[in-house]
């Protein structure tokens, strides 16, 4: 009998609940500081630049470009064995914040720096939807 190995799941916190709830609705959101105007990710209770607690949520268009990436050929755990090779990228979103995400729907060896991407959401267990990138259409 083959045991199914599950991939690690995000665990929403008080600071990240709004982000994960929005992902479940197909919307990518980020935080913006009302004092200094900086966008930030990951979510937190204060601005990482000026320390202000005047943080608001904004909706992202879900488009950006690849800042850096790596192609994974060796799975870090058995749960990722079926996925290799796959791409993990740092993505600069158009709203001036950066996220790490997988790049899907393309040959991993054709991904390039500055390649335009769009975000989509991959359903996981427990109602979590994980943001993923794919080449922009």
pTM to 2 decimal places: 0.92
**pLDDT the model gives residue 3:** 61
Domain of residue 47, residue span = 17-135
Length in residues, the chain: 137
The full DSSP string for 115-135 is -EEEEEEEE-GGG-EEEEEEE
pLDDT tens digit at each of 137 positions of the chain: 456 678 888 999 999 999 999 999 999 999 999 999 999 999 999 999 999 999 999 999 999 999 999 999 999 999 999 999 999 999 999 999 999 999 999 999 999 999 999 999 999 988 899 999 999 99
Tokens, residue 20: 């994960």
Cα 94 versus chain centre, distance: 14
Please report the pLDDT score of residue 4 as a whole number. Answer: 65
Q: Is residue 35 part of a domain?
A: yes
Q: Which CATH number is 66's domain given?
A: 2.40.50.840
| pLDDT value of residue 1 | 47
- The Cα 13–Cα 133 span in angstroms is 23
Asked if residue 120 belongs to a domain, the reply is yes
Domain count, the chain: 1
Contact call for residues 29 and 19 (beta carbons, < 8 A): yes
Q: Is residue 86 domain-resident?
A: yes
3 falls within a domain: no
CA distances from residue 32 to 16, 44, 127 in whole angstroms, order as listed: 14, 11, 26
In this prediction, residue 31 carries a pLDDT of 98
In a domain, 83, yes or no: yes
């Amino acid at each position: 009998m083959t045991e199914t190995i599950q991939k690690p799941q995000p665990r929403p916190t008080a600071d990240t609940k709004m982000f994960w709830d929005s992902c479940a609705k197909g919307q990518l959101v980020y935080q913006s500081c009302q004092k200094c105007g900086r966008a930030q990710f990951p979510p937190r209770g204060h601005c990482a630049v000026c320390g202000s607690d005047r943080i608001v949520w904004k909706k992202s268009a879900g488009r950006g470009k690849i800042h850096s990436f790596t192609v994974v050929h060796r799975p870090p755990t058995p749960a990722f064995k079926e996925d290799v090779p796959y791409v993990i990228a740092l993505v600069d979103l158009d709203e001036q914040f950066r996220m790490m995400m997988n790049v899907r729907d393309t040959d991993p060896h054709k991904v390039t720096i500055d390649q335009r991407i769009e975000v989509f959401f991959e359903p996981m267990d427990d109602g979590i939807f994980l943001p993923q990138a794919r080449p922009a259409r």
